[in-house]
Amino acid sequence: MCKQGQTATIMGSTMTDFFPEVYGNVSLVTWAHAVNNQAYLTKTLADGRIMMIEADISEGIESNSSDKLIPIMAHPPNRESDLSLESFLEQITNQPKSTIRQGVKLDFKSLAALEMSIGIINYYNKETFPLWINADILPGPINSTVKPVNPYRFLELSKKLGNVVLSLGWTTHYGPGMVGKYKDTDIETMLHVINSNNILNEISFPVRAGLAAESLDELLRLLKTVKHSTLTLWSHENDNVNVSKLNNVIKEIGCDRIYIDVPESLRKQLITS
């Protein structure tokens, strides 16, 4: 049984106000990934099963346009896309909410991409749909050498975006046959960054499922310290995941505080009711 208590707040209300069909169980929120081109966006906007649209933002050029660098929907190393951030948000905004209601998670790969996106985001963010801003701001397990974005600069820029949900994560080094966890030092560093920046936004912490399964005590501490925060479980297809332990994490933390954004092969093994 997945316990429920508080619900994550957003835009002065709650995610479950926007998605009443989940009845407070945010683990039931559904996701589309890497919606980085026009064809996929068109398909996703027409799919009533999708609640949150995740897309990557990079600096680059729009296909069949000028060579001017703008925020585009692309994952590095791609530097060209047929979909700009401006067009992406315009189409989201113009989606009739009476038929399909969808929110957005923008995954920023660099500070430069975020900096050039602020004006565009503020123009389209009328707080009519959930808007999350994501970046990996700290190095994490297992001894990840992937360089995160500068946490202090990211949070400074994010303050210019108003009432958005901040999705603050760690870079990771993990995969098949590997075992690891989020350590106390990972939690302490994240808490220090948040506390030293006076963050008032709602926060969700994206955590890799295989690592989260081994980190119940650490994650409970994180959520207890950062009031009204949530986790977002994510995973790669071939990650080593102890499903029994992960189900216990979900049970102990509660389905009102865990979003689940994992491959279907893992998702169908999780207990979320």
**With bands split at pLDDT 50, 70 and 90, how would you rate the model's confidence at 6?**
low
What's the Cα-to-Cα distance from 140 to each of 135, 148, 168, rounded to whole Å?
13, 9, 12
What pairing do the DSSP bridges indicate for beta strands 203-208 and 165-171? parallel
Q: How far apart are CA 46 and CA 44, in angstroms?
A: 5
Q: Work out the mean pLDDT of the chain and round it to a whole number.
A: 93
pTM reported for the whole predicted model: 0.94
pLDDT at residue 11, rounded to an integer: 46
Residue 12 has pLDDT above 50, yes or no: no
Asked whether the CA dihedral 123, 201, 127, 12 is positive or negative, the reply is negative
In this structure, what token pair is assigned to residue 101?
């209601």
| Per-residue exposure over 85-100, b if at least 16 CB sit within 10 Å of its own CB, e if not | bbbbbeebeebeeeee
- φ/ψ bin of 272: left (φ > 0), alpha (ψ from -120 to 50), beta (otherwise): alpha
Q: Give tens-digit pLDDT for 232-243.
A: 999 999 999 999
Is 9-267 a domain of CATH 3.20.20? yes
- φ/ψ bin of 42: left (φ > 0), alpha (ψ from -120 to 50), beta (otherwise): alpha
Q: What is the DSSP letter of 84?
A: B
Q: Give tens-digit pLDDT for 180-210.
A: 999 999 999 999 999 999 999 999 999 999 9
Kindly list the domain boundaries of the chain, sorted by start residue: 9-267
